[in-house]
């Protein structure tokens, strides 16, 4: 599943391509995504001008000039393609983890026509979804259940320490819990905890205020670096310009099972353990 950095890169790419453009038409071929798309959905979108492409957590948000919003969640396998019409040929780009930029057309569930573009939503597993909000208040209410993003000043050592009081769950599960913090997923949780020197299965009630400071700090460090590197191309992730992310070249632990720890003074080995059916990677010596 694309995490905050990958969705941020798609947001930046779309902003360059479709901001200021008017949606000419929308074709829905399959309404049965994670949440069924209502029949009047198209009427809310057509002929509206996009003033900005925004993001919250792992959600893309197309903001319209009448203050309404179209929210897109890519789910596990959702892809956004931009097909640009040209005299020579159509050019296509892929913006997801999926293995190929040319996906089976049977999974093209939504087509949005914008000027000389077609924005196509392709989703083999159909865990993604589209939601329309009439105004910003409606949209903000939808996000009330989410925790702050890692970049939010609210996500500091005091927030983390107080949230963890008397709780038994392990730190890895908390980092991917969107009610605690928004946008972190499986990949970046492992990388953050490595830099914090904290084992992923450590119970949060045992963490010190200093540990919580590290979690706040290194969450920002890891995600900023991932955005700078264009995200992680685990399965050929690309932005709307067709460029791959390269943060996977900077992984310290993720998908490095049985390899030596990259820290100069450490003689440890990277281990893999399943926590709540999700793979977690960690150094057997660095992390305590």
Residue labelled with tokens 């709540």 = 276
CA triple 271-263-201, angle to 5 deg:
35
Marked catalytic residue, from 55, 58, 63, 172? 58
CB 77 within 8 A of CB 94: no
Pairing of strands 59-64, 69-73: antiparallel
Active site residue 150: no
Single out the catalytic residue among 31, 48, 220, 278: 278
6 catalytic? Reply is no
Tell me, yes or no, if 257 is annotated catalytic. no
Other Cβ atoms closer than 10 A to 105: 9
Residue 170 dihedral angles phi and psi, to the nearest 5°: -75, 160
d(CA 124, CA 104): 9
Q: Which residue has the tokens 């500091």?
A: 156
Q: Which of 2, 5, 150, 200 is catalytic?
A: 2
- Catalytic residue chosen out of the listed positions 3, 6, 8, 191: 3
Q: Give me the helices (H) in the chain, please.
A: 4-18, 41-45, 136-142, 157-164, 171-175, 186-196, 209-228
Identify whether 203 is a catalytic site residue: no
* Per-residue tokens: 268: 């440890």
Residue with tokens 């360059």: 16
Q: What is the set of active-site residues?
A: 2-3, 58, 278
């Amino acid at each position: 599943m694309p995490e905050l950095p990958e969705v941020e890169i798609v947001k930046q790419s779309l902003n360059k391509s479709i901001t200021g453009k008017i949606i000419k038409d929308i074709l829905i071929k399959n309404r049965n995504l994670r949440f069924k798309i209502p029949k009047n959905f198209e009427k809310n979108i057509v002929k509206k001008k996009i003033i900005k492409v925004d993001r919250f957590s792992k959600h893309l948000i197309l903001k319209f000039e009448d203050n309404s919003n179209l929210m897109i969640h890519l789910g596990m396998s959702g892809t956004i393609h931009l097909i640009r019409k040209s005299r020579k040929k159509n050019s296509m780009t892929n913006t997801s983890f999926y293995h190929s930029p040319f996906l089976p057309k049977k999974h093209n569930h939504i087509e949005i026509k914008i000027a000389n573009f077609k924005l196509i939503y392709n989703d083999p597993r159909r865990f993604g979804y589209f939601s329309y909000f009439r105004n910003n208040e409606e949209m903000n209410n939808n996000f009330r259940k989410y925790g702050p993003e890692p970049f939010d000043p609210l996500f500091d050592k005091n927030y983390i320490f107080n949230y963890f009081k008397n709780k038994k769950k392990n730190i890895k599960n908390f980092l991917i819990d969107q009610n605690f913090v928004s946008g972190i997923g499986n990949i970046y949780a492992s990388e953050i905890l490595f830099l914090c020197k904290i084992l992923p299965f450590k119970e949060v009630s045992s963490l010190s205020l200093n540990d919580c400071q590290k979690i706040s700090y290194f969450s920002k460090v890891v995600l900023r670096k991932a955005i700078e590197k264009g995200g992680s191309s685990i399965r050929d992730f690309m932005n709307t310009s067709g460029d791959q992310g390269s943060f996977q070249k900077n992984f310290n632990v993720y998908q490095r099972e049985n390899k030596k720890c990259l820290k100069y003074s450490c003689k440890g080995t990277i281990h893999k353990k399943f926590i709540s059916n999700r793979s977690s990677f960690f150094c057997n010596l660095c992390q305590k």
